[in-house]
Amino acid sequence: MDRENTGKAQNIQNSSDVIIDPATEPKQDDIITRLGEVQASPTENTVLDRLKDLLTGIILAAGSNLIGIVKIGDGVLTAIIDSLSSAFVSISWPHREIHDGDRYFNADKLDLGNNASRVFLIVTPDTTTIGHFVFEIEFEQETFVTITEGVSVDADGTSITMFNRDRNSAKNSTALLFHTPTNPTGGVVIRSDAKGSGKKVGGLTRDDNEVMLKRNTKYLIEVDNQVASPDLIDWCFDWYEEVSIA
């Protein structure tokens, strides 16, 4: 034993070649009380300060004794955690559009006559506001459904009201819906469905994957009864509108 160093604090060199000075190394109690004091640039070379280096970027309240809580938010609102299940509470983007007052729908029914058709027209605006479209059409016997993009018409037809899903909102859809346009021609068929069989079997055509409608464009939706018998149809057209960031 080196009697010259007896009773004096000694520097100890560990296996990582880091000099540990007992005089500056915090006690266990000190570590516990200081865990909440995370600094991005520690000025001391202690075990605690090296731990703080690993936590760079984590911000904790002054005096906090916890280092395991992370809150998600935008600086104003904080994400919600369910108190019963501790599950993260969130809503989908299309659902969010309802709360923003930017989602619209039209749902109705109609008795189509023998071999008759119902023709809808969607007209999108020449702006950066883009409609994100989904639909559902149901019928009680054999029916064809065709969607054509980029048609030309002599007249748009009869206007159909698109309702805002937020019934407290005064916003209106910038895309417009009509039925029975005059002399539709041209365009490109982007969807064609044939469902049902004769007058005894109906069907359903739908698309839950939204289509981002092209700006300044007319879309034709044709519902054609294929049977010489009345065909009860019902539909729901649904879209939300967002300003394009592209």
> What local confidence, expressed as pLDDT, does residue 23 receive?
58
Q: Is residue 81 part of a domain?
A: no
Region of poorest pLDDT, from 5-9, 75-79, 187-191: 5-9
Q: Is residue 129 part of a domain?
A: yes
- Kindly state whether residues 25 and 122 are assigned to the same domain: no
- Kindly state whether residues 5 and 44 are assigned to the same domain: yes
Contact indicator for 239, 182 with CB cutoff of 8 Å: no
**Residues shown for the chain:** 246
Q: Which of 59, 74, 89 is the last residue of a domain?
A: 74
179 CB neighbour count, 10 Å cutoff: 17
Region of poorest pLDDT, from 46-50, 92-96, 233-237: 46-50
pLDDT band at 56 (very low <50, low <70, confident <90, very high): low
> What local confidence, expressed as pLDDT, does residue 32 receive?
43
Number of domains forming the structure of the chain:
2
Kindly tell me if the per-residue pLDDT of 131 is higher than 70: yes
The residue type found at 173 is S
> What local confidence, expressed as pLDDT, does residue 31 receive?
44
Q: Is the dihedral of CA 147, 149, 152, 157 positive or negative?
A: positive
Q: Which two tokens stand for residue 69?
A: 């809580």
Contact indicator for 158, 123 with CB cutoff of 8 Å: no
Q: Which of 55, 74, 93 is the last residue of a domain?
A: 74
pLDDT band at 125 (very low <50, low <70, confident <90, very high): very high
- Kindly state whether residues 62 and 131 are assigned to the same domain: no
> What local confidence, expressed as pLDDT, does residue 37 receive?
46
User: What is the Cα–Cα distance from 183 to 155, expressed in whole angstroms?
Assistant: 8
Of the candidates 136, 116, 159, 107, the one whose C-alpha atom is nearest the C-alpha of residue 207 is 136
- Kindly state whether residues 223 and 172 are assigned to the same domain: yes
Residue 88: which H helix or E strand, with range? strand 88-89
Average pLDDT, the chain: 79
Whether pTM > 0.75 for this model: the answer is no
Of the candidates 30, 182, 171, the one whose C-alpha atom is nearest the C-alpha of residue 102 is 171
* Cα 162 to chain centroid, rounded: 22
Kindly tell me if the per-residue pLDDT of 83 is higher than 90: no
Average pLDDT over residues 65-90: 66
Region of poorest pLDDT, from 31-45, 67-81, 94-108, 161-175: 31-45
For residue range 167-223, what is the model confidence (pLDDT) as tens digits? 999 999 999 999 999 999 999 999 999 888 776 667 777 777 889 999 999 999 999
Average pLDDT over residues 58-81: 62
Of the candidates 96, 131, 97, the one whose C-alpha atom is nearest the C-alpha of residue 243 is 131
- Kindly state whether residues 165 and 59 are assigned to the same domain: no
Q: Residue 41 belongs to what domain range?
A: 1-74
Burial class (CB in 10 A: 0-12, 13-18, 19+), 103: buried
Burial class (CB in 10 A: 0-12, 13-18, 19+), 59: exposed
